[in-house]
């Protein structure tokens, strides 16, 4: 997914397009509570972000472009989920 030089609105539209096709999709993203969201995020992090290559001889991790490439879509999806869920939480919290 090419995201450089996009406006914020264009970036959000790009993120939403493949994931939110119907209002039901949006409702599904907003479903659950903060504990369920935390568990989901932790599981995704363990599976993807913490799946690091072995450290070098100085115990440093050198992340290759393949690591970034393999996690790029995961990060974008998590940003989308976080934004949608935060919006739902704020709407519920501040509803008249």
Domains identified in the chain, total number: 1
Answer whether residue 83 is part of any domain.
yes
Answer whether residue 10 is part of any domain.
no
HEC profile of the chain: CCCCCCCHHHHHHHHHCCCCCCHHHHHHHHCCCHHHHHHHHHHHHHHHHCCCCCCCCCCCCCCCHHHHHHHHHHHHHHHHHHHHHHHHHHHHHCCC
User: How confident is the model over 66-93, as pLDDT tens digits?
Assistant: 888 889 889 988 988 998 899 889 999 9
Rounded to the nearest angstrom, the gap between the alpha carbon of residue 96 and the centroid of all alpha carbons in its chain is: 30
For 80, the domain range is 30-49+65-96
Tell me the CA end-to-end span of the chain in Å, nearest whole number. Answer: 39
State the pLDDT at residue 82: 92
Report the chain's mean pLDDT, rounded to a whole number.
Answer: 87
């Amino acid at each position: 997914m090419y995201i450089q030089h996009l406006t914020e609105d264009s970036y959000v539209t790009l993120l939403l397009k493949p994931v939110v096709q119907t209002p039901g999709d949006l409702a599904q993203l907003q479903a659950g509570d903060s504990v369920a969201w935390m568990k989901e995020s932790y599981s995704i992090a363990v599976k993807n972000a913490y799946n690091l290559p072995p450290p070098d001889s100085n115990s440093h991790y050198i992340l290759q472009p393949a690591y970034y490439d393999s996690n790029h879509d995961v990060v974008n999806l998590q940003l989308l989920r976080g934004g949608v869920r935060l919006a739902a939480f704020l709407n519920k919290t501040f509803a008249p």
